[in-house]
């Protein structure tokens, strides 16, 4: 009898450790968002490579545990971006060296800040890619602005893509500082690497615990 109980305790201890690990993994770690849209404007100097109507797509990965370096109402997640790839028509770019520029996410819940009195989600990244018309890409930005100030209830870093229907979404890629640029709209913003819901994991763990307890009771008879 004592042996069976010890085995049961071992089972539940192991289950608890597994559950803690699963919940921790569900709440933290790298997360990837996919995006897509189209170009709406191109400065004349870049018109030989880009044109209005070109498709825009790609993804970025951020570290969900990045701390907030700015007090409410503005959440500033410095260096959160750890991966980026994007295409604009025939052009492909990637993440640049974050040591030489921003790789940040900014989240504002109304109040005062870079987005004025609105809710916003703003991605500011230094990219890397081929030169166009003799200049290199120097800034990649995605911005979602909600002028009603109702989209966010906090400045926490969203772990799922914000609902585009609540915002005016845009993107911009600058070449040679602010001298040249490509801008457009975003029509799709989705989660590329879904994170398991904690509630789902709890249900799974409860089921395993039930089966373990059932087996222990049968073995003790």
Q: What is the pLDDT along the chain (221 residues), one digit of tens a residue?
A: 555 544 444 434 444 434 434 444 445 699 999 999 999 999 999 999 999 999 999 999 999 999 999 876 689 999 999 999 999 999 999 999 998 889 999 999 887 666 766 899 999 999 999 999 999 999 999 999 998 889 999 999 999 999 999 999 999 999 987 778 999 999 999 999 655 545 444 444 444 445 444 444 555 55
pTM exceeding 0.85:
no
C-alpha atoms less than 13 angstroms from C-alpha of 112 in its C-beta half-sphere: 0
CB burial readout 123-138, b (16+ within 10 A) else e: bbbbbebeebeeeebb
Residue 24 has a CB neighbour count (10 Å cut-off) of 10
């Amino acid at each position: 009898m004592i042996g069976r109980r010890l085995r049961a305790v071992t089972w539940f201890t192991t289950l608890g450790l597994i559950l803690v690990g699963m919940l921790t993994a569900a709440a933290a770690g790298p997360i990837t968002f996919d995006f897509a849209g189209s170009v709406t404007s191109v400065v004349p100097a870049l018109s030989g490579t880009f044109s209005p109507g070109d498709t825009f797509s790609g993804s970025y990965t951020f570290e969900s545990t990045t701390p907030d370096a700015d007090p409410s109402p503005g959440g500033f997640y410095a260096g959160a971006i750890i991966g980026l790839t994007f295409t604009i028509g025939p052009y492909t770019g990637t993440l640049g060296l974050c040591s030489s520029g921003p790789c940040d996410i900014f989240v504002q819940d109304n109040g005062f800040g870079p987005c004025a009195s609105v809710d916003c989600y703003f991605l500011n990244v230094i990219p890397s890619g081929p030169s166009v018309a003799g200049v290199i890409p120097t800034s990649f930005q995605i911005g979602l602005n909600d002028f009603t100030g109702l989209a966010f209830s906090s400045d926490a870093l969203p772990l799922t893509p914000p609902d585009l229907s609540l915002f005016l979404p845009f993107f911009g890629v600058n070449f040679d500082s602010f001298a040249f640029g490509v801008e457009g709209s975003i029509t799709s913003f989705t989660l590329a690497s879904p994170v398991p819901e904690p509630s789902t994991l709890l249900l799974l763990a409860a089921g395993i615990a039930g089966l373990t307890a059932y087996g222990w009771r049968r073995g003790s008879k």
